[in-house]
Structure 1
């Protein structure tokens, strides 16, 4: 398990890198958008390339940030229902969801998108708009983004199994993967809650 947790930490580091990286993509998109608007209004100068790069950057932020979002537990959950379940039950639900839904979806999207990327690269596919950009880089964001999401899903799977074995902090708590200070107390409380439910 220690080796798997080391792998999990390495994956988390990759996700954090992309989380920091996409912040600059947001800034770049905002600056390009502002510059394009000023050029159009003030100087009557426009470019489809400027418009398309904004779409490319938006796609990059959305796709490359998916793994980081999972790391931060910022994805959508049905908290009204989940909050009524024991921590152990929530872990098992997460494990099932990752194995049955998330990882297969990531694999399907990578397998589906990769031939499209290769085809666009080989053919040199360009945007149909005048002055538009080459297409394969934005297509490549799909397998890259889902690859990063799949890696983070593996990390989350490891952390949930480790928590159930008492070897890692609660991964459902924001930032719990970065600090082990409250690990023992959190795990003891979770087991206590489970034991209380069994006695009921």
Structure 2
């Protein structure tokens, strides 16, 4: 029971400390630097992993061509495009949040003032995203550590080794999404303080 409590307590405490640090930064002038650093991290990672989309298409095409054109193929090659696909979505989540690309009702959000958008983003960060990140963090870390402890192999015969590496992407997903959510929180607080230049752009697609 203690292990279970500890498992859930750690991400809650870390998230609470992080939120307090962001609020402190927003009211003491350090938030601008925090936002720039977090945006740069997720921008770089997002642009880098976007190339894996092309890799996914190419490898998938080769797998299909080999299977139906030559009646051959390799399981490890199928693992590659599945892993690429997973990495794009997991590692690109923070960048997507930065760009405002996650699903929401943009028809309403785009019509709001900067201050009202800031309140919506604060509400979304605390009420919707925080519980999700806590659950994902508490669930994925033991899951990933267990995989590393046995250096888990692909579940498929003749699949890729190092299955623990792709499972680690779950932890990175939580981390990258969490720091971008904190940057969004910092932006929202700055907007409420009157610094509207930090307001995120509303997408109208």
- More moved, 68-77 vs 93-102: 93-102
Counterpart contact for 2:34–2:183, Cα < 8 Å = yes
1:146 to 174, 187, 201: 174
* Residues 53-68 of structure 1 mapped to structure 2, 5 A cutoff: 53-68=80-95
Q: Which runs of 5+ in 2 are unaligned?
A: 1-25
Residue 68 (structure 2) aligns with: 41
- Shift of residue 83, structure 1, vs aligned partner: 4.7
Counterpart contact for 2:187–2:200, Cα < 8 Å = no
Q: Distance in 2 between matches of 1:163 and 1:28?
A: 39
Kindly report the root-mean-square deviation, in angstroms, between the aligned alpha carbons of the 2 structures.
2.0
- Shift of residue 69, structure 1, vs aligned partner: 0.7
- Shift of residue 85, structure 1, vs aligned partner: 4.3
Q: Please list the CA deviations of residues 122-169 of structure 1 after superposition, one character each: whole Å capped at 9, or x if unmatched.
A: 123223322112321221111111210011001111111111212351
2:182 is equivalent to residue 157 of structure 1: no
Taking structure 1 as the reference length, what is the TM-score of the superposition? 0.79
Q: Which has the higher contact order (CA 8 A, sep 6+)?
A: 2
* Residues 40-189 of structure 1 mapped to structure 2, 5 A cutoff: 40-83=67-110, 85-134=112-161, 135-173=163-201
Q: Distance in 1 between matches of 2:38 and 2:195?
A: 18
Q: Distance in 1 between matches of 2:61 and 2:159?
A: 19
Q: Which of 1 and 2 has greater Rg?
A: 1
Q: Please list the CA deviations of residues 57-95 of structure 1 after superposition, one character each: whole Å capped at 9, or x if unmatched.
A: 111111111111110111112134435544322211211
Question: Secondary structure at 1:169's aligned position in 2?
Answer: helix
Taking structure 2 as the reference length, what is the TM-score of the superposition? 0.77
- More moved, 166-175 vs 63-72: 166-175
Aligned pairs, number: 175
Residue 7 (structure 2) aligns with: none
Counterpart contact for 2:114–2:191, Cα < 8 Å = no
Q: Which runs of 5+ in 1 are unaligned?
A: 176-200
Q: Please list the CA deviations of residues 170-197 of structure 1 after superposition, one character each: whole Å capped at 9, or x if unmatched.
A: 523259xxxxxxxxxxxxxxxxxxxxxx
Question: Secondary structure at 1:128's aligned position in 2?
Answer: coil
